[in-house]
Amino acid sequence: MPPQLDWMELKCDSCNSPRFVQVFHLRYKRDGGTTPQPCGWMCKECGALVDTGRLIRMAELQQKRQQAKELEAELAAEAPPKEAASAIGTGRKQ
């Protein structure tokens, strides 16, 4: 089972703002009035229409990069000293 990941705040790829408003189509039917139909999201700061799929992919990529950095740091902490590592490859005694 993959590890549970924390919620990530999506940000506008135009201005980096985390604030969005939902955009609606207004539908009208004679004798039925109007009804809102959700049709996407818009950045509250710059007004750009948002591709949520792209924002999610960017957030997942950022999260994977962070995990890779953490793993690299963990490997660096566990790696033997350089002298010992080079001696292992050559068969020399320390």
- Assign 3-class secondary structure to 36-93: EEEEEEEECCCCCEECHHHHHHHHHHHHHHHHHHHHHHHHHHHCCCHHHHHHHHHCCC
Report, as an integer, the average pLDDT of 31-48.
94
Identify residue 79 by its one-letter amino acid code: A
Q: Which residue would you say has higher pLDDT here, 36 or 5?
A: 36
Q: What is the pTM of this model?
A: 0.60
Report, as an integer, the average pLDDT of 59-73.
91
What pLDDT score was predicted for residue 8? Answer: 84
